[in-house]
Structure 1
Amino acid sequence: MSSTRLPRVPILEPAQMTPEQKRIHDVITSGPRGQVRGPLAVWLHRPALAEPAQALGRYCRFETSLPARLSEWAILILARHWRSDFEWWAHKPAALKAGISTEMIEALRDGRPIPYGNPDEALIHEFLDVLHAERAIGQALYDRIVHVLGEAGVIDLVGIAGYYTMISMTLNVFDIRPPEGKPCELGATEQEGH
C-alpha cells in the first residue's frame, strides 16, 4: 500500500499567491524554465529570496561561459554529492542532450570509475571533488583548470557549484523528490533521528 507524501512546504497555486509572489512566479514561467517547481516553489514563499535566487539560477543554468556539456556534468556531480534525487532527475536528460554519455552518468551515480569522454570532464569532476573535500583549491589544480576553462570559466564553475549546492540543500531540507512515478536513482532515504 503506497501513501502519498505531503510536501513540507505547500506548493502555492497562483490564486493563493500575494501580488509579489505572483509577479516572481510570472517572471520564472516566462523565462527559459517555463515553470516553477522544486526549490523555486519553496523559495516562492519568500519572494525576497526567490527573486535574486531565480535570476542567479537563470545565469548559472543558461548564460555562463561553460558549454552545456560541462555545466550539466557539474550539476550532476553536485546532485550526486548531495544525494539530491530531484536535481539528478531534473538534469540527467539535459546532461544526455548536452553530450554526456549514459555510461559516465551511470558510473557517477553508482560510484564506479568514470569512463570520461573528454579530459575537461575529468578535470571538472576533480575540481569539484577537491573543492568539497578540501574547501579550497591548490595552486597546481587551479592553474590546470584556468588553462582549460579560462578565468571566466572557473568563476562560472564556482558560481554553479555554489548555486546548485543551495538548490540541493533546499531540496533535501524540504524533502522535494522527483514527481510520483519517477525513479529516485541516487538512493536517498529519509534520515530518521537526525
Structure 2
Amino acid sequence: MRLPLIAPENLTPEQKPLYDEMRKGIASNFNAFKVEAENGALMGPWNPWLHSPRIGKAIWDLTLALTAEATVPDRVRQIVILAVGARFDAAYEIYAHVAVAEKEGMSPERLASLTADLKPVDLAADESIAFDLAYALARGGVLPEPVYRLAVDTFGQDGVNELIFLVGLYAMVSVTLNGFNVPVPERE
C-alpha cells in the first residue's frame, strides 16, 4: 500500500465531508465486502480518493451517478465490472465484486471464468453482449461496430451509454487500485 489509511480523527477539513458522504454511500451501495479498517479508515479506492479530495469527490459523484441512475440489470453490470477488473488484474476490484456477485447468486463457475479474464460459457444473451462490450473496450481501441449495434439493440442507446461509462469508471478504479497497490483484506 502506497498511501496510508487516514483515520477519521486525522481527516482535514477538506477530506471530512467527502469521508462522511462516502461512508453513507458505501453503507447503502457497497456493503458486500470489507471497506473500513478497525479504526474507521476507508480502504479500497476510497482511501486514494480521500488523499486527493477534489478529484476524489468528482470520481465519487460519478460512481454514485452510475449507481443511482442504473438501468442495466445488476447481474449484467457485475459481469462488466468483473471483466474490467480481471483485464487490469485489479485485486481489490476483483475481491469486492466477487463478493457482490456471490451475494447476488452468481455461480462459482461463472466467477472463475470472469476472474480468469475469460468469457463464461453460460451467459444469457444480454450478459454475453455486455461481456463482449467490456472485453473489447478494456483492451483499447474503438468498440467494434457489430458489438456496438448488438448492444444498442439489446440495451437501447441509454443502456449502451451506461455500459460504456461503467467500463470507463471501473478501468479508472482498477488503475487507481493498481497504481497505489491497494491491498485486499482477508475474506471472512
TM-score bin (small chain): 0.7 to 0.9
Q: Pick from 151, 163, 170 the counterpart of residue 145 of structure 1.
A: 151
Q: Could you say which residue in structure 1 is the equivalent of 2:89? A: 83
Tell me the matched-pair count: 176
Structure 1 residue aligned with 2:18: 24
Q: Aligned-pair RMSD on alpha carbons?
A: 2.0
1:177 aligns with 2:170: no
Q: Does 1:93 align with 2:87?
A: no
Q: Closer, same or farther in 2 for the Cα pair 1:165/1:110, shift >3 Å?
A: closer
- Give the letter for the 1:109 counterpart: T
SS in 1 for 2:19: helix
TM-aligned CA distance change 1:178 to 1:62, over 3 Å? farther
Q: Retained in 2: the 8 A contact 1:72–1:98?
A: no
Equivalent residue of 1:166, what SS?
helix
Structure number with greater Rg is 1
1:31-67 Cα deviation digits (max 9, x unpaired) = 2247532111111011101111111112224431111
Runs of 5+ unmatched residues, structure 1: 1-6, 184-194
Query: Does 2:62 match 1:56?
Result: yes
- Do the aligned partners of residues 14 and 136 (structure 1) sit closer, same or farther apart at CA in structure 2, a change above 3 Å counting? same
Matched, 1:121 2:127: yes
1:9 paired to 2:3: yes
> Percent of aligned pairs with the same residue?
28
Range with bigger deviation, 100-109 or 149-158: 100-109
Tell me which residue corresponds to 1:44: 50
Structure 2 gap ranges (5+): 36-41
Residue 146 of structure 1: how far off its partner (Å): 0.4
- Would the alpha carbon gap of residues 16 and 162 (structure 1) be closer, same or farther in structure 2, given more than 3 Å must change? same
Matches of 2:111 and 2:96, distance apart in 1: 13
Question: Match of 1:73?
Answer: 79
Moved over 4 A (4+): none
Partner Cα separation in structure 2 for residue 144 and residue 120 of structure 1: 9
The TM-score normalised by the length of structure 1 is 0.83
